Chain A
Amino acid sequence: MSRSAILPNRGLADRLSALFWRRPRVLLLLLITPPLLWLGVVYLGSLGALLLQSFYSIDEFSGVVVEEFTLKTYGELFRAANMDIILRTLTMSASVTLASAVIGFPVAYFAARFARGRWKAVFYLGIMLPLWSSYLVKVYAWKLILAKEGIITWAADSVGLGFLLDAVLALPGVGGNSLSTSFIGTWLVFVYVWLPYMILPMQASLERVPVSMLEASSDLGATRGQTFRSVILPLAMPGVIAGSIFTFSLTMGDYIIPQIVGTSARFIGQAVYQLQGTAGNIPLAAAFAVVPILIMLVYLSLAKRGGAFDAL
C-alpha cells in the first residue's frame, strides 16, 4: 500500500493563488475590471450623456429641456455669434500654442543639452514651481499685474516706455483699454499658465536626440544652423507636437482665465458654463462641448501622423 503524502489543508489565499496560476486570465480580468468600469461608465458614459443632451432642444420661455431628438441645437452653433465664439477660441488656442512653442523651445533645448548638475535642478524647479501654486491665485495675481493701475503700466511709464504700451494696446482687434481688459492680456496669462506643459515633453524628446548624430552631421560639414534644421528639429518634433496637444486642448477648454482677464467676449468654455450653469440651456451647452472634442480628434489624428505619441 502506498501512503499518500499528508498535506496541510489549503487556505483561501492558497486556493486563490492556485486559481490564478492555472487560469492567468482570471487575474487579468480582476485587475482590469475596475479601471475598465471607470473608463466605460464614468468617463465614456458621461460623454455619451453629454452627446445625447446635445440632440435635445430647449423650450424657449420656461427654459425646460424638451427631450425630443432634434438637430436644431447643432444648427444654432452656426449662428454668427456662436461661430465667433468657436473661431475666437480656436485662434486663441493656436496662438497660445505657437507662442508656448517659440518661448519653450530654447528653454527646453538649454535644459536638455547644456544644463548639468545643480543647474538641471534649478531648471526643473523653475518649470515646476508655478504648477505647485493655485491656478486661481496665479490668475488673480495676473489681473492685478496687468491692470491699468498695475505694475506693468507703472513700470512702462516710469522708464518712459508708456507710449510703447499704448501702441500695443491700440492694436485693432486684440488691444483694449488696459492689458487686463484686452485679448493680449488673456493670451499672456494663457501662455504663462500652460508653458510648463509645453516645455516638459519638448525637453524629454530633445534629450533623446543622440549626440552621435550631431557629431555625424558636423563631420559631414553641416553648419550649426543646418544641423539644427535637418537633424535636431525633426527629431524633436514629436515632443513639440505632444506639448502642443496639452497647450491647445487646455486653452480650448479653459473658462476661468477669459472670465477674469479679457474683454468679456466669450470663449467656448465660458459659453458652455453660461449656457448650462446660468441659462439652463443644457442642449446648446452640450453642442458647444462637442466642438472641442471634434477639433481635438482631428488634431490628435494629425499629431499621431507626426509621431507625437512616440515621445510620451
Chain B
Amino acid sequence: MKSIRLMGTTAVAVAMAVTPALAQVASLGTPEGQVSIVAWPGYIERGETMAEFDWVTKFEEATGCQVVVKTANTSDEMVALMNEGGFDLVTASGDASLRLVAGKRVQPVNIDLIPSWANVDDRLKNAPWHTVDGVHYGVPYQWGPNVLMYNTEAFGDTPPTSWSVVFEEQTLPDGSSNVGRVQAYDGPIHIADAAQYLMAHQPELGITSPYELNETQYAAALDLLRAQRKLVGRYWHDAFIQMDDFKNEGVVASGSWPFQVGLLQSEGFPVSSVIPEEGATGWADTTMMHVDAPHPTCSYLWMEHTLSSNLQADLSVWFGANPVVLSACTDGSGMQTAEGCTANGLDDFEKINFWTTPVSQCESQGECVPYYRWVSDYIGVIGGR
C-alpha cells in the first residue's frame, strides 16, 4: 500500500515537472456562450435589484456569453468554490488571490488579449496581490475601504473619528454605553482591523503591516478582539442580516462596506460612514481565471468588458467603491463623478491597508503567524475564548 502511494506521488511529481507551469491563453476562439463567475454580492448586477444598475445585459447581447453568477460572502468561501472548480472567473480580494495562485487554482492572464489593460490605474497594474514574479494572474476589478458605518441619530453632531467605538467600551454621544450596540466582521481577516488599531494606539508593538504579525503582536490583537467580544452581540457575516441588525437590533456602529451604507441610506435609514483617523483596511479585488476555466474566450471578453469606463463608473456608484480605470470618474461614461470618487476614497489609496493573506514567511519581520491560525483563533475568540 505504501509503495503504491509512493509510486502515485512520484508519477504526479513527474507529470507536474513535465507540464509547463505557466499555461496561458495565446489567442481567443469563438465565444462559448457562457461564463460563470464567483462574485461578491452586489458586484455583478443585471438590473434586477435596481433597473439602472445593469452591466450584464449589454455584454450578453454583444458577445452571446450568458453570465452566470455565484455569490460568495467571504474570501474563504471564494477559495473553497474555486478549489471545487467548475467556474471560469472569481472576483478575488487580496486575502484570497495569493492563496489561489499558491494553490494553482488560477491561471496567468495574457494582458495582450485585453486591449483595455492600458487604461488600468498605474497604482494597480503591478499590485502584489495579483502579480507574482512579474506574472499577472488577473485584471483589477474595483477597490475600496472597509468603512465605519454609524447611526446618525445615536452619534448626533459628533460622528466617530476613531475605531475605538467598536473596540473599547465607552459612552456614545446619545448617552448610552456601546455594549451590545456594535458589530464586527465575522471573518478571520478582521484580526487585521484590530492590528491596524494597535498600530496607532500601541506603537511600541512595532506593527508595520496589519497582515504581518509576530507572536507578540498577534497576541495583542487577539486580546483586543477578546475585549471586543464583550461589546458585540452578534458578528456580521451576511450584508443583509447586518442591515437588519442596524434596523431591529439597536446596532449603531460597525465596520461595514459602502454597499450596506448606500442601501440603508436609499431606504431612508439614518446611517452614514467615515474612514476613521487610524485609517482603514480595504479590499482590492481582481478578476481571476480558473486554471481549468471551461469558457476561456468568454472569460477574456468579460475581463475586457469589466475594464470599460462605463461599467467601472456604474459599479463604483452602486457598490461605493473606486474604479480601477481612472477616466471612469471624470469622462461621464456612467453615473460616477469626480466628487463621487473622492467620497469613495479614491485619494486615500495610500491610507488603506489592502486585504492580503497572512503568511508565515513575511517580508517585514521574517516569521509571522499564518492564516490558518487566524481562522481557528478567530473561531475561538467568537466562542469567548
Contacts and interface: CB of A to CB of B under 8 A. Distances in A.
Nearest to B357: A61
Interface string B231-250: 01111010001001001111
A95 interface: no
Interface string A171-189: 0000011101110000000
Contact of B249 (A64, A84, A178): A178
Contact of A60 (B80, B370, B384): B370
B376 interface: yes
Given A58-B372, A260-B241, A63 B79 contact: yes
A200 interface: no
Nearest to B373: A60
A83 B357 CA distance: 27
Given A81-B385, A278-B77, A62 B233 contact: no
A178 B233 contact: yes
Contact of B370 (A61, A79, A148, A278): A61
A91 to B, nearest CB: 13
A62 B80 contact: no
Contacts of A249: none
Contact residues of A: prevailing secondary structure: loop
A80 B380 contact: yes
B233 A181 contact: yes
B80 A266 contact: no
Contacts of B376: 76, 79, 81-82
A62 B186 contact: no
A265 interface: yes
Interface in A263-296: 263-266, 271, 274, 276-281
A138 interface: no
Instruction: Report, as a range, how many residues of chain B touch the other chain.
Output: 35 or more
Contacts of A176: 180, 233
Interface residues of A, number: 42
A58 B375 CA distance: 13
A284 to B, nearest CB: 9
Given A61-B370, A265-B382, A149 B249 contact: yes
A147 interface: yes
A239 B104 CA distance: 54
A176 B359 CA distance: 36
B233 A266 contact: no
Contacts of B179: 177
Contacts of B385: 80-81, 84
Contacts of B244: 143
A174 to B, nearest CB: 12
Interface in A217-239: none
Contact of B382 (A58, A180, A266, A277): A266
A182 B384 CA distance: 13
Contacts of A279: 76, 80, 375
Task: Sort A-B residue pairs by CB-CB distance and give the 9 closest, nearest first.
Answer: A177-B180, A81-B380, A181-B233, A62-B103, A177-B233, A278-B76, A264-B235, A147-B248, A280-B80
26 contacts: A61-B360, A63-B79, A63-B80, A63-B99, A63-B103, A63-B372, A80-B380, A81-B377, A84-B380, A85-B379, A85-B383, A148-B249, A148-B250, A149-B247, A150-B248, A177-B233, A178-B180, A181-B234, A264-B186, A264-B232, A271-B379, A277-B77, A277-B80, A278-B80, A280-B76, A281-B372
Interface of B: 5, 73-74, 76-77, 79-80, 83, 99, 102-104, 179-181, 186, 232-235, 237, 241, 244, 247-250, 357, 359-360, 370-372, 375-377, 379-380, 382-385
Given A63-B83, A63-B99, A81-B376, 12 more contacts: A63-B80, A81-B383, A81-B385, A85-B383, A177-B179, A177-B233, A177-B249, A177-B250, A178-B249, A263-B234, A279-B80, A281-B375
